[in-house]
Amino acid sequence: VKDYQSKGIMTFMVGDVIEQCAEGGVKMGLELRVIPLGHDVTSVIHVVTVAIRAALIFGNVQPGNLAALLDYTKNRVPAFVNTFGAIDSVVVSAGAGAIALGFPVVVDIDLGENQVPGALESVCDHAETVKKSLELRNIKIKVKELPIPVAFAAAFEGEIIRKADMKVEFWSAKNTTCELVLMKNMDEVEDHKLVIDGPDIDSGDLEYALATCVYVAGKKMQADFESVIERKIHAWFNYMEGVMHTGQRNQVRIRVSNAAYDAGLRLKDFAEVLYVMIMDEFDAVVDKCQITLITDAAEAEKFRDEVAMPRYNQRDDRLASMTDEAVDRYFTCIMCQSFAPAHCCVVTPERLGLCGAVSWLDAKATKELDPAGPCQPILKEGCTDEKLGRYASVDEAVNKYSHGALEHVTLYSLFQDPMTSCGCFECICGVEPVSMGVVITCREHAGMTPLGMTFSEMASMTGGGVQTPGFMGHGKHFIASHKFIAAEGGPGRIVWLPKILKDQMRERLDKTALEMYGVENFTDMIADETICTEDPEQLLNFLSEVGHPVLSMEPFDM
């Protein structure tokens, strides 16, 4: 189980293995990718459900289409089964089910000539179980051997470190923190020079300042890639077992657990992790990398105020000036095709990928890092309708990258050939016919919306790379863009948002609404779950009360 965990593989456990893991000190839970399902063999159905739902949601397989379902699970759900100990008739039946779905079964008893190569195989030496299982699904994992005293794997990203388990903390609310990746000239960077400026975490204090300064240089490096690399610091620090990281820039909180400290984890390991990961993931643009971690309070503050803050501000100015009009190309992203085979995102400066994780800058960097990879440029050519955001070159690209599944996609419309959704969108919007507005909900909000549907019910209307006019998945930040459903009137159409999303978007949404409609405090005019959940009339009353701009817009041209 630990071996699978360190390889980033999600492990579902059924039976006595759960107790064995608990006794062995394996930490469990969804966020750690080790999930106990139950003691009875039949509880395996919970994980089968996940595989089948993946086919229905991401693969757009229609319920009842068994052939398409089995094809999807076999080719796109890279699962396999390990059994330990004697197998009875129930286990055999469950195993046969797994094999039918295309999931090979590895047993630890000798089946002799009853083995079915590729589907049912005996591996009696447990040291070989993991290797054989991965081979059967052709899963190749690049394991990074880092010279640090704790484990390093994506599976630890969700680990929470509570105060009682905490050795030291770096937290912006108490001490200076900042993280900056800065591009330098080749002769200004000494490769693999790691410096700790100030006390290390074994000096006896519980709280420290921390300025993480990463200097990179490379012939193909661009200033635009600084923030792309910088954002990964969050993940990399989290991957260390016993380290928790939240935030970014000058708002950071890092905790180190007692266990990690006792294992010998110190600041030089943090620096080493950054160095190894940057040179591994960004080797196409970074030739040299030097890292300084400043814990000296005065030095950290000086670095934050004199170097980091001005750089963040410069980047923000650049981002603000980066409109769809200001660039000559957009990018495709087909990263989600491994599970949503017909899906293609079109990423523009003002419309980030619907997962929220791929901005135009990220896409541009991805193209540089992996020239034949998932992000390919779409030159802005052949605009036939500016308002809809309709381009011949966009149509051509989505047609090509969706393998013919899509012919037309517009950038700014909810009704006319809207962009497709793979299924991993941060938000989903849908038309509210009474007010002629749109309702948006997000993954974090499990509750009802005035459309009479929850996030997951709305999500099941789209996904799988199909176009569903009137419903569309999108990233959070798209909401506050001038281009959000611009063809239908823009963000002024938004009539309902969950409170949590309102709070996240308020500042930018208010600014956009002021610029577009001359309306102050627009976010306050939008209803949320504290104002109404199910009744469209109640929603309409609220909108009239506050004088919401949607009331003076034309009805939708549906």
Chain residues binding ligand SF4 by CB under 6 A are 333-336, 345, 347, 353-355, 357-358, 422, 424
What letter does residue 386 receive in the DSSP assignment? Answer: T
| Inter-residue long-range contacts of 519-524, CB under 8 Å, 24+ positions, other chains counted | 519/492, 519/549, 522/491, 522/492, 522/549, 523/497
CB nearer to ligand SF4: give 216 or 347: 347
CB nearer to ligand SF4: give 148 or 424: 424
CB nearer to ligand SF4: give 335 or 429: 335
Sheet holding 194-197, edge to edge: 177-183, 210-217, 288-294, 194-197
CB nearer to ligand SF4: give 177 or 462: 462
What is the three-state SS of 232-293? HHHHHHHHECCEEEEEECCEEEEEEEHHHHHCCCCHHHHHHHHHHHHHHHCCCCCCEEEEEE
CB nearer to ligand SF4: give 352 or 495: 352
Question: Which of ligand SF4, Zn ion, none does 353 bind, CB closer than 5 to 8 A by kind?
Answer: ligand SF4
**Of these, 422, 427, 485, 539, which contacts Zn ion (CB under 5 A)?**
422
Question: Which of ligand SF4, Zn ion, none does 333 bind, CB closer than 5 to 8 A by kind?
Answer: ligand SF4
Binding residues for Zn ion, rule CB under 5 A, total: 4
State the Rg of the chain over Cα: 26
**Of these, 233, 352, 375, 424, which contacts Zn ion (CB under 5 A)?**
424
Q: What contacts 417, CB < 8 A, 6 or more positions away?
A: 388, 390, 408, 409, 410, 467, 469
Report, in Å, the least distance between residue 339 CB and Zn ion: 8
Which two three-digit tokens encode residue 86? 């004697």
If one asks whether residue 342 binds Zn ion (CB under 5 A), the answer comes out as: no
**Of these, 221, 336, 419, 509, which contacts Zn ion (CB under 5 A)?**
336
Report, in Å, the least distance between residue 335 CB and ligand SF4: 4
User: Token match 């005035």: residue?
Assistant: 450
CB nearer to ligand SF4: give 345 or 485: 345
Report, in Å, the least distance between residue 510 CB and ligand SF4: 27
Q: What is the largest CA-CA distance in the chain?
A: 77
Torsion angle (degrees, nearest 10) of CA 413, 414, 419, 425? 130
Residue 171 backbone phi and psi in degrees, to 5: -145, 130
Report, in Å, the least distance between residue 469 CB and Zn ion: 20
Report, in Å, the least distance between residue 281 CB and ligand SF4: 16
- Closest residue to ligand SF4, based on beta-carbon distance: 353
Q: How far apart are CA 425 and CA 147, in angstroms?
A: 36
Report, in Å, the least distance between residue 60 CB and Zn ion: 13
b/e code 450-469 from CB counts within 10 Å (16+ = b)? bbebebeebbebbbbbebbe
Report, in Å, the least distance between residue 406 CB and ligand SF4: 13
CB nearer to ligand SF4: give 259 or 357: 357
Segment 351 to 380, residues that bind Zn ion, using CB under 5 A: 355
Q: Where on the chain is the footprint of Zn ion (CB under 5 A)?
A: 336, 355, 422, 424
